[in-house]
Chain A
Amino acid sequence: MGILVIGLSHRTAPVEVRERMAFNKEEVGRAAAGLAGLPGIEEGLLLSTCNRTEALIALEHGLAAEAAVRGVRDFLCSARAVETGDLDRYLYVHHGAQAVRHLFRVASSLDSMMVGEPQILGQVKEAYAAGASCGALGPRLEALMQRTFSVAKRVRTSTSISRNPVSIAYAAADLAARIFGSLDGRTVMVLGAGKMADLAARHLITAGVRKVIVASRTFHHAQELAARFNGVPVTIDRFKDHLGEVDIVIASTAAPHHVLRKEDGPPMMRERRGRPIFIIDIAVPRDIDPALNKLDNLFLYDIDDLQRVVDAGMEERRREAVLAEAIVEEEVQHFLAQERSRDAAPAIVALREKLHAVAAEELGRFRGRLGPLSEKQEATVREMLSSVVNKMLHGPTREMKRSAGRRGTPEAVDLVRRMFDLPGPDSEPASREETKR
């Protein structure tokens, strides 16, 4: 197949090395073109993110990989002004099936530092677009990249790998969405002006919350925080007046006792006419009486509850990653089988042509000895010969196709090539070369 991945990532290289080897958006396309122009390499692509720099290349048919790998390494080093020797211990090289698997895993976010993070597919797509616009891609990488995108999409839609909360703030926003659906136009109240409250409020604002009320013991702290969110400051002793109008409460005061007690619950819910309220208590000691969770339509989470949600999210991601790996493996085998049957096709055609040519040649040689034939007889003789050839071809053709579809090297294809002295797989794509140049 002649596909190689050469690169380094957070798994092999420390950040000092990764940052030196990073290419920016403008450079990536040119680098891809540079790769494709190296001797022995037909197509190239460069993926560069903060966690990895990888070259994806398609070799010229029949060339050994070693020289190309060295070429790519030297190219990357000279582009980043790094000593070649310094880089060697961080670099990995994947060949053929391994390279395909690696690419599928990277795009599906299985090789990411944070498994399931959604940015990587976009970055792969950007690398592809940059390479394509610089003419560095050919049919082989084009086919591989298209497949990569569809694999990544399949992983994302059929597993929930990128959907589970992995931080407290994200978990809070996720739970809020389970209660309210869209957070557009919701109101959040922040009790206390701590850092955690600030972070959680930020997340909710990103998710669509529009109005923020900030209550703090010291009014000017409330004013400060409120100014940051474009919100309304209130004094802490008045916060209960606003409980009827807010949807989400984030509590993180330093108060040593509950600021919202059990007996505050029923009047609050009455005023809300039963509308649900989501209360996030991230203060220690807790600000909200845990007994309030017994009220209908009131959902109270303390810091440990949120941490449990996060833990479960991580656990879920790990579980989903197993599923995702299975999907990737299935797709790798599928892709390889397709590649192999593509390899078998020229051999089958060559075999057909060869045998039919032999038949035609022999007919030409013996035709004179048959004497005059009517047109119908002539046609019958040709038909008979062609039918004999086709009958004999039937078995080998079937066997070659079957062998090509299986894992490993297509033995039957190679055997037939040798037996009938057919042109090898590497000298075949003369027409493809022509269209490319």
Chain B
Amino acid sequence: MGHWSGLLLGAALAFYVLGVAVSLSVLATRRKDRVSLIPAFTLAGFVVHFAGIVLKGVEEGGVPLDNLRGILFLLAWAAISVYLLAHFKFRMEVIGIVILPLVAALMLITMLLPAPGPSADPPGIPAGLEMAVRVIHILPAILGVSALFLTFAASILYLVQERSLKARRPVSFFLRLPSLERCERLAHQSLTWGFALLTFVVVTGVVTASYGPDEDWRWILREKWSLLAWLIFAVVLYDRIFSGGWRGRKAAYLSILGFGVMILRMVGA
């Protein structure tokens, strides 16, 4: 990683960490007037982050999609844009409190990853196809997972709200959580998008693998975690569409699980 892009990405991480710090201080001191600082820091980080990614591309001479770090930086950025969209479009301020720490952690892990090692894509792809494969395989993957960040956050908020209502113990009134209905709708919409994109990714993955010299099905083993996550999301959506209109608690738990599996696969754990 070049010196300057590294600096910018570090600055972006610093802004996100500041956002997390503000969230924590809001939760601890109950001073609501600081809440507006969270999107402000995030927005600053978002801009610097983008500049960092562009600069990294320039330094490395190409779209920064050919190694895990580049992909993860782009994923973190996409997740932040989805959060900002949710914040400014749906006015769901609290979402930041869930998404920001996650993105900050993702950035940190990415920075601690060893410098670009062997390329992450399936071996044996014809050279001419390489760029096309990246675009049609990795870009939708990034978009899909960033939509799933929203599913994750909405599911967490759903569970917090649901638990407190169920316990009949009034939740803290100082930060308004979105209603169950709203969390549910947001989770469902984002999951629909995320799932559609992931399905596309799986299909292109299969096609890519069939180009490889080893025409066995070893890729299934390599991608077992992605497939597991895909299956979990499929169950959630099936449940919502065919057996009931409302997903509820179990679906929220499943979505969180699916997201966890997905993220672990992306970071390569």
Q: Do A and B come from one complex?
A: yes
Q: Is the CB of B182 within 8 A of A157?
A: no
Chain A residues, CB < 8 A from B181: 179-181, 276
Tell me the complex Cα distance, A79–B178, Å: 51
**Closest residue to B185 on the A side, CB-wise?**
A181
Q: Is the CB of B173 within 8 A of A163?
A: yes
1/0 contact trace for B21-38 toward A, CB 8 Å?
000000000111100000
Q: Of A177, A274, A293, which is within 8 A of B245 by CB?
A: A274
- B174-216 interface with A by 8 A CB criterion: 174, 176-182
**Closest residue to B179 on the A side, CB-wise?**
A181
Q: Does A301 contact B (CB under 8 A)?
A: yes
Residues A160 and B173 in contact in the complex (CB < 8 Å), given A178-B180, A273-B246: yes
- A40-83 interface with B by 8 A CB criterion: none
Q: Of B170, B182, B250, which is within 8 A of A296 by CB?
A: B250
Main SS at interface, chain B:
loop
- Count how many pairs of residues, one from A and one from B, have CB atoms less than 8 Å apart in the complex: 75
1/0 contact trace for B88-116 toward A, CB 8 Å?
00000000000000000000000000000
Chain A residues, CB < 8 A from B31: 158, 323
Q: Of B30, B32, B176, B245, which is within 8 A of A273 by CB?
A: B245
Q: Of A164, A180, A296, A299, which is within 8 A of B173 by CB?
A: A164
Residues A308 and B179 in contact in the complex (CB < 8 Å), given A157-B32, A157-B33, A274-B245: no
Closest CB in chain A relative to B150 CB, distance in Å: 17
Q: Is the CB of B169 within 8 A of A178?
A: no
Chain B residues, CB < 8 A from A305: 168
**Closest residue to B177 on the A side, CB-wise?**
A178
Closest CB in chain B relative to A202 CB, distance in Å: 21
* Residues of chain A at interface, number, CB under 8 A: 30
Chain B residues, CB < 8 A from A276: 180-181, 246, 248
Tell me the complex Cα distance, A176–B30, Å: 24
Q: Does A312 contact B (CB under 8 A)?
A: yes
Main SS at interface, chain A:
helix
Interface-central residue, A159, A178, A293, A316, by most chain B CB under 10 Å: A178
Chain B residues, CB < 8 A from A297: 246, 248-249
Residues in B lying within 8 Å of A, measured CB to CB: 30-33, 161, 165-166, 168-170, 172-174, 176-182, 244-250
Q: Is the CB of A158 within 8 A of B33?
A: yes
Q: Does A147 contact B (CB under 8 A)?
A: no
Closest CB in chain A relative to B158 CB, distance in Å: 11
- A250-283 interface with B by 8 A CB criterion: 273-276
Q: Is the CB of A274 within 8 A of B179?
A: no
Residues in A lying within 8 Å of B, measured CB to CB: 154, 157-160, 163-164, 175, 177-181, 273-276, 293, 296-297, 299, 301, 305, 308-309, 312-313, 316, 320, 323
Residues A159 and B32 in contact in the complex (CB < 8 Å), given A164-B173, A179-B165, A312-B170: yes
Chain A residues, CB < 8 A from B166: 293, 299
**Closest residue to A171 on the B side, CB-wise?**
B170
Residues A274 and B170 in contact in the complex (CB < 8 Å), given A179-B180, A299-B165: no
**Closest residue to A275 on the B side, CB-wise?**
B246
Q: Of A299, A308, A323, which is within 8 A of B170 by CB?
A: A308
User: What are the 8 A-B residue pairs with the smallest beta carbon separation, nearest first?
Assistant: A158-B33, A181-B179, A274-B244, A274-B246, A312-B170, A305-B168, A273-B245, A181-B181
Residues A296 and B244 in contact in the complex (CB < 8 Å), given A158-B33, A181-B178, A309-B170: no
Chain B residues, CB < 8 A from A178: 161, 165, 177, 179-180
Closest CB in chain A relative to B229 CB, distance in Å: 24
Can you spell out 7 A-B residue pairs with CB atoms less than 8 angstroms apart? A157-B32, A177-B179, A181-B180, A274-B246, A276-B246, A293-B166, A323-B31
Closest CB in chain A relative to B34 CB, distance in Å: 8
Chain B residues, CB < 8 A from A273: 244-246
Q: Is the CB of A296 within 8 A of B174?
A: no
Chain B residues, CB < 8 A from A157: 32-33
Closest CB in chain B relative to A267 CB, distance in Å: 14
Chain A residues, CB < 8 A from B173: 160, 163-164, 312-313, 316
Tell me the complex Cα distance, A177–B165, Å: 11
Closest CB in chain A relative to B157 CB, distance in Å: 12
Q: Is the CB of A180 within 8 A of B170?
A: no
Chain A residues, CB < 8 A from B168: 293, 301, 305, 308
Chain A residues, CB < 8 A from B165: 175, 178-179, 299
